[in-house]
Homo-oligomer: A and B are copies of this chain.
Amino acid sequence: MYDGIKGFRDFYPGEMAARRATTDTIEDAARRYGFREIGTPALERAAMWTDKSGDEIVEELYAFEDQGGRHVALTPELTPTVARMVVAKQQELSKPIKWFSTRPFWRYEQVQQGRQREFYQTNVDIFGSSEPEADAEILAWAADALTDLGLTEEHFEFRISHRDILGGVLESYEADVETTEAIRAVDKSGKISTAEYHDLLAEAGLTYDQAAEFDDLIAGGDLEAVESFADTERVTAAVENLRNVLSAAEDFGAREHCTISLETARGLDYYTGVVFECFDSTGEVSRSIFGGGRYDDLIESFGGQPTPAVGVAPGHATLSLLCQRAGVWPEEAVTTDYYVLQVGDTRAEAARITRELRDRGHVVETDVAGRSFGAQLDYADSINAETVVIVGEQDLANDEVTIKDMETGDQLQTPVEEFPGDLERPTLEDFA
């Protein structure tokens, strides 16, 4: 017997039903916003990551040489792929380009709760708008998707910042600061001690006094204080952009979910503007549920025309943890409208009833295993059938079938020609 691979999950029907309902909810919200579904490959050239991404993602890459000698990788994220797709058709595509897709990605990571090596994300992106309304629309979609899942302000918050606030404040120091290193330090600050955080800032080029001052300023989250501390055009512009995004988010109905949090940096280097992360408000899910932001330079770095972009990618594993803790995760069970039970040689009539019910759009099963009355009834129970239609030889001799309500256990007989008759969704009550 073979076993599955560590970090790769099998989803059986009950759990899958809950995941499907969740994915449908998220995608329905994306469709209402006019995001359009795209389909993308599982493999890309490994160079799309090895040429420029941070060390971490390259170290975690499932990369190999294919039979044609291509160095390929199982995609660890979608953004480079959509960038490639935008570049390939940038003349034909009308802007703004608004795309979404749900699919698995792969990273060779340490497996832990909410983190597998194969993980599902719904990516939602807008290309071709640098306006704050685009950032706000991404936030508004994310808020609507979570709200549609049954989550409220009590359960989640978006911590939002602008990449140039950190960059600009660091730049305003006279010392020679490694900005990227310092921003990575900020990104890690929630997971490490203050001393370790200040050590990392010092490694990036700040003195320990400056590190403490910087820490206070950023933790304070006061936009005016940051603006006057840096006193540079870059920081002033970043603060203005962040305020404009929040103002648009107000109109779009998402402002109440947003908290300014200047520590929010996002680890990936390609972000250029507003960045945000979704956190569990109760703090029970300690790491970020998902994040997103603006990445205006990526398309150009892929050989395309300069094309501003903003996006977000909720991961389904952490999202399901959040929903479970909030008590809004769908029940992990299959549902069945009808089971048509055959007793004796009644297949033709049972099949007729089954087909008529399916034609009305219902989920209907009938016996395909030649099993006994009791075994069929147990099976009907195991698939949570609401109504069982018993088609028995003796009943049929009287031109009748038996209808059984599985919740109450009540049953009665009715003329076979009346079932399902003209009824859209006949139940026991219709014949009582």
Chain A 13-54 residues near chain B, CB threshold 8 A: 13, 16-17, 19-20, 28, 31-34, 36-45, 47-48
In the complex, A379 has a CB within 8 A of chain B: yes
For residue A118, which residues in chain B have a CB less than 8 angstroms away from its CB?
Answer: 41-43
In the complex, A72 has a CB within 8 A of chain B: yes
A70 to B38, CA, bound (A): 32
Q: How many residues of A contact B (CB 8 A)?
A: 96
Copies of this chain present: 2
Closest residue of chain B to A8 (Cβ to Cβ) is: B41
Report whether A13 and B36 are in contact in the complex, using a CB–CB cutoff of 8 Å.
Answer: yes
Chief secondary structure at chain A's binding surface: mixed
Closest residue of chain B to A351 (Cβ to Cβ) is: B251
In the complex, A191 has a CB within 8 A of chain B: no
Cβ proximity bits A131-145 to B, threshold 8 Å, 1 near / 0 not: 101101100000010
For residue A28, which residues in chain B have a CB less than 8 angstroms away from its CB?
Answer: 361
In the complex, A425 has a CB within 8 A of chain B: no
Report whether B368 and A137 are in contact in the complex, using a CB–CB cutoff of 8 Å.
Answer: yes
Report whether B5 and A70 are in contact in the complex, using a CB–CB cutoff of 8 Å.
Answer: yes
Closest residue of chain B to A82 (Cβ to Cβ) is: B10
For residue A93, which residues in chain B have a CB less than 8 angstroms away from its CB?
Answer: 12
Closest residue of chain B to A247 (Cβ to Cβ) is: B347
In the complex, A84 has a CB within 8 A of chain B: yes
A352 to B67, CA, bound (A): 55
Q: Which residues of A contact B (CB under 8 A)?
A: 1-6, 8-13, 16-17, 19-20, 28, 31-34, 36-45, 47-48, 62, 64-68, 70, 72, 74, 80-81, 84-85, 87-89, 93-96, 98-99, 104, 106, 108, 118, 126, 128-129, 131, 133-134, 136-137, 144, 248, 251-253, 302-304, 334, 336, 347-348, 351-352, 355, 358, 361-365, 367-370, 378-379, 382-383
